[in-house]
Amino acid sequence: MKKEEVPQDGDNMHEGTFKQLFYATDNAGQYVPVTSVGWEPENVAMKQAWEEINERVEKAKAQVLAGEVSPVVYYMEKTIMDLPLLASYVGKFQWQVKRHMKPAVFNKLSDTMLRKYAAAFKISVQELRNIK
Amino acid sequence: MDEVLEVMSDIQFNHVQTAHCESGVISNIFRHYGLQISEPMAFGIGAGIFFGHLPFVKVNGVPGTTYRVVPGAIFKRVCKRLGVKMESQTFSSPEKGMEALDRVLETGRPVGLLSSVYYLPYFPPAYRFHFNAHNLVAFGKDGDNYRISDPIMETVTEIDPKSLAEARFAKGFPAPKGKMYYPVEVPKEVSFEQPIREGIKQACSDMLNIPLPFFGVKGMRFLAKRLKHYPEKVGDRKAVLYLGNIIRMQEEIGTGGAGFRFMYAAFLQEAAGILKREELSEMSAELTKIGDTWRNFAFNAGRVCKSRSVNNISYAELSEMLMQCAAEEEVLFRKLSKVKL
């Protein structure tokens, strides 16, 4: 990649906060560091990854409001966690967390357990109980 | 006495932005101790270039692809080859980990930290996934806040103690467990010649000789074959996500598949000067071309993602391009392994 070919496709993916560094060749073929504000294919892939996440969050939200699953599912999707990761944050087995995803089980959880979930999601117990 | 303490808690740290976190931290920390080593040189001596595709290791349901060696390996190899002694610790609790960090910072040493990018507030939000193998340097405190040199950021920054503790003690795989590391013995004079030879030898071996289908140029072909059948195997929707992940792993912060090819080419160029081997210079130019082939693959893959194409021909074409990358890299590394250094 030549210096002039280092992509500069902004798209605001980096929100103007920083530029990424690349190594590219100058006219004499010598490698030099060059900064880039972004690249179209990467922007596309990144946007897609977030679209997927947002879709999952929306779906989870609808399911919680319909009483099909507990808020644990919604916040898990919202914080981009998966079952193994969430289980390790709250110090439970995966099957236990899965049970907590049932509204009936969730409603009977102890305050201690709720606080653990709230801490993992970085929200208050109040927010955990009532999703917005 | 007070004056001395003040100087100590406000050490000068010469931050240079780099392309990759691990080789960047090595370059920045070593420079602090008077050992000048460029990022590409650290990457090359550490034999950082690699390829791996592990369909059974899924991240958020998407099979994993890597363009570099396993996190931590570059560091270990560079230290061993240059004779740098590092102190490295992990901790059972955030309290212990943060206290130990404070104590080392008080002695005026910059400290390398392993962390999750998800909890770094200064990171662009779009990049904040649960990626646990990011490296950064803490080099002092400003009140309660820590002064941070994150190698992929343009300038130094600060972070509050709560976020830093969360980042260092994130759960998941691999759990950083508050890992911190700092040099205790850095030789003033080092010769790069032998370390370069060892680094090149190892990179060639990793790319060509691992007897498993997932790694090196074999891994590229393995991915190429699977990618061809993504649409019929996992459906169009997932196929696009899988493909997107290959691009993201290729270009995203701290990874950068094509970026790693260019960085290794920069290393070969520098090595050519040190070892006085013109062949290495020529191979650097060849690898630059291979990096461009990778970028071309990513460019086309990005177009397939964007159009969310349902037409299987495009996946077959992408598969062909990957096969091309594999063929070119195999030729290059075979040649490189035969150079008498």
What are the pLDDT digits (tens) for B230-248? 999 999 889 989 998 888 8
Note whether B273 contacts A: Cβ–Cβ < 8 A.
no
Residue of B nearest to A49 (CA): B241
φ, ψ of residue A109 to 5 degrees: the values are -65, 145
For the beta sheet containing B145-149, the strands, ordered from the edge strand earlier in sequence to the opposite edge, are B85-89, B180-185, B111-115, B134-142, B145-149, B157-159
Mean pLDDT for the stretch of residues B208-220? 97
Q: Cis link prior to B187 (omega < 30° from 0)?
A: no
**Is the dihedral angle over the CA atoms B294, B295, B300, B306 positive or is it negative?**
positive
Residue with tokens 């090359």: B44
For chains A and B, count residue pairs whose Cβ atoms are closer than 8 Å: 114
Residues of B in contact with A88 (CB under 8 A): 171-172, 175
| Domain A42-127: which CATH number of 1.10.260.40, 1.20.120.80, 2.30.31.70, 1.10.10.10 | 1.10.260.40
CA distance A24 to chain B (A): 7
Residues in Cβ contact with A118 at an 8 Å cutoff, skipping those fewer than 6 apart: A124, A125, A127, A128
Per the structure block, which two tokens stand in for A104?
């009936």
In the predicted model, is pLDDT for residue B184 greater than 80?
A: yes
| A7: Cα within 13 Å, side-chain hemisphere | 18
Note whether A91 contacts B: Cβ–Cβ < 8 A.
no
Within 10 angstroms of residue B271's Cβ, the number of other Cβ atoms is 28
Per the structure block, which two tokens stand in for B308?
């969310």
Q: Domain residue spans in chain B?
A: 2-36+85-185, 193-338
CA distance A7 to B208: 31
For residue A85, give the nearest of B130, B152, B269 by CB distance.
B130
pLDDT band at B10 (very low <50, low <70, confident <90, very high): low
Where, residue-wise, is CATH 1.10.260.40 in chain A? Answer: 42-127
Q: Do A39 and B301 touch (CB under 8 A)?
A: no
Residues in Cβ contact with B236 at an 8 Å cutoff, skipping those fewer than 6 apart: B308, B310
In the predicted model, is pLDDT for residue B2 greater than 60?
A: no
* Residue B252: predicted pLDDT: 61
CA distance B136 to B96: 19
Q: Do A1 and B299 touch (CB under 8 A)?
A: no
Within 10 angstroms of residue B5's Cβ, the number of other Cβ atoms is 11
What are the pLDDT digits (tens) for B102-149? 999 999 999 999 999 999 999 888 888 888 889 999 999 999 999 999
DSSP SS3 for A2? strand
Higher-confidence position of B4 and B263: B263
* Residue A17: predicted pLDDT: 64
Note whether B148 contacts A: Cβ–Cβ < 8 A.
no
ipTM of the complex model: 0.90
Please state which CATH number belongs to domain B2-36+85-185: 3.90.70
CA distance A98 to B151: 39
Q: Which of B133, B182, B124 is nearest to B153 (CA)?
A: B124
Q: Of chain B residues 165-194, which have a CB less than 8 A from chain A? A: 171-173, 175
CA distance B170 to B115: 7
For residue B265, give the nearest of A31, A80, A88 by CB distance.
A31
Per the structure block, which two tokens stand in for B142?
């400003």
Q: What is the DSSP string of B167-216?
A: HHT--SSS--TT-EEEEEE--SS---HHHHHHHHHHHHHHHH--SSTTBH
Residues of B in contact with A41 (CB under 8 A): 247, 251, 298-299, 301-303, 305
Q: Each residue's pLDDT tens digit in chain A (132 positions)?
A: 899 988 888 766 666 667 889 999 999 999 999 998 888 888 888 888 899 999 999 999 999 999 999 999 999 999 999 999 999 999 999 999 999 999 999 999 999 999 999 999 999 999 999 987
The answer to whether the CB of B301 falls within 8 A of the CB of B314 is no
* Residue A9: predicted pLDDT: 83
Per the structure block, which two tokens stand in for B10?
């406000």
CA distance B119 to A89: 14
φ, ψ of residue B210 to 5 degrees: the values are -70, 120
Amino acid, single-letter form, for residue B74: I
What are the pLDDT digits (tens) for B318-339? 999 999 999 999 999 999 999 9
Note whether A37 contacts B: Cβ–Cβ < 8 A.
no
Pairing mode, if any, of strands B134-142 and B85-89? unpaired
CA distance A129 to chain B (A): 24
Return the ∠ at Cα A52 (arms to B119 and B244), rounded to 5°.
90
pLDDT band at B4 (very low <50, low <70, confident <90, very high): very low
Q: Residues of chain B with pLDDT > 70: what percent?
A: 93
Note whether A25 contacts B: Cβ–Cβ < 8 A.
yes
Residues of B in contact with A46 (CB under 8 A): 126-127, 248, 252
Q: Which of B248, B227, B258, B264 is nearest to B325 (CA)?
A: B258
In the predicted model, is pLDDT for residue B63 greater than 60?
A: yes
Residues in Cβ contact with B127 at an 8 Å cutoff, skipping those fewer than 6 apart: A46, B117, B252, B253
Highest-pLDDT range among A45-54, B162-171, B301-310: B162-171
Q: Is B14 exposed, middle or buried (0-12, 13-18, 19+ CB in 10 A)?
A: exposed
Note whether B269 contacts A: Cβ–Cβ < 8 A.
yes
